[in-house]
Copies of this chain bind each other. A is one copy, B any other.
């Protein structure tokens, strides 16, 4: 098979459109790492696509899998790389800021305070597709909002908060008020308890985003922050809730979007939704901004037919790009109503469910 045929075979197996360049990127990843999760992290392609590319490369004899689940290029594989002129992936990520562009020097005290406050944080659980970001990620997110003028003296809505961004933001002393809408009782209780103990201007309320937004919060906030599940339906519901909560023009929304659970086809569809339907401008897309701390339930929740996948990650491999959107002059609010939606399951999802749509 040539690279194009490999890509077609992967498309057939995953139902996610796959290009020759996608295969090339996985091969470039394999040229510098034998660890599946490192390759997923570097390839910036949906999990299922990366897994199947490696699967097809294995059937073709271009890679072999050892007892630890590590992936090695065979002699034939190395020749294939050479003849296709594929070289190891280059990495020029800034070491100081991990590529986010936000300096952490002025934030050391906040980092320490946050870590101390949250040592007893609730664990990520599968029920709500949880997984939280590293302290450096969450503090950088606070700094990004502050730098863009969206935090100091502002009212912030956090839609879903297993990251505990509400606590990080309010510990900075900058926001006037922070409201958390969150489905998980454990987190609602935890955030309210910490906030009340420290006298922070944070209030957490139980909320399922498929319900309409509480009326008192329609048009109430300056800024919203969320990490939507990555089906197109869930993205639409999350953006609707966030934007409905904003007070008008010149307000901002922040959220993460991965490449691991969203193909660039989906990115394009979602971007169409943002600029056409929601009529906002996308001001920032910062690659690999949010790094997720590895969560306990990963290996039990994903496919188990490939040994190289059932390997404990050696790095915080799951990442998302940071989006910032801004509302424009003439901003019009959408109708606030219940929206049922498919939350977590499409063909690009990480979690494997036998009943998933294909």
**Which residues of A line the B interface, CB within 8 A?**
17-22, 24-25, 28, 85-87, 89-97, 99-103, 105-107, 143-144, 146-147, 149, 152-153, 176, 249-251, 264-265, 267-268, 271-272, 274-276, 279-287, 321, 326, 328-330
Contact = CB atoms under 8 A, between A and B. Distances in A.
A265 B149 contact: no
Given A22-B250, A250-B21, A102 B94 contact: yes
Contacts of A284: 285-287, 321
Given A152-B87, A267-B283, A285-B285, A96 B93 contact: no
A267 B275 CA distance: 10
A285 B93 CA distance: 16
28 contacts: A18-B329, A19-B250, A21-B149, A21-B249, A21-B251, A24-B250, A85-B153, A85-B176, A86-B153, A89-B147, A89-B149, A90-B143, A90-B147, A92-B106, A92-B107, A92-B144, A92-B146, A264-B283, A265-B328, A265-B329, A268-B279, A268-B328, A271-B274, A271-B275, A271-B282, A282-B285, A284-B321, A286-B287
B275 A25 contact: no
A144 B90 CA distance: 9
A101 B91 contact: no
Nearest to A23: B250
Instruction: Report the copy number of this chain in the oligomer.
Output: 2
A7 to B, nearest CB: 9
Contact of A87 (B103, B153, B285): B153
A38 to B, nearest CB: 15
* Residue among A17, A153, A265, A287 with max Cβ neighbours from chain B (10 Å): A287
A149 B96 contact: no
A100 B105 contact: no
A239 B115 CA distance: 46
Contacts of A249: 19-21
Contact of A94 (B101, B265, B271): B101
Given A17-B328, A18-B329, A271-B281, 18 more contacts: A17-B329, A17-B330, A20-B249, A21-B250, A22-B250, A24-B250, A85-B176, A87-B152, A92-B143, A92-B147, A95-B105, A99-B101, A264-B328, A265-B328, A265-B329, A267-B283, A271-B275, A282-B282
A63 B100 CA distance: 36
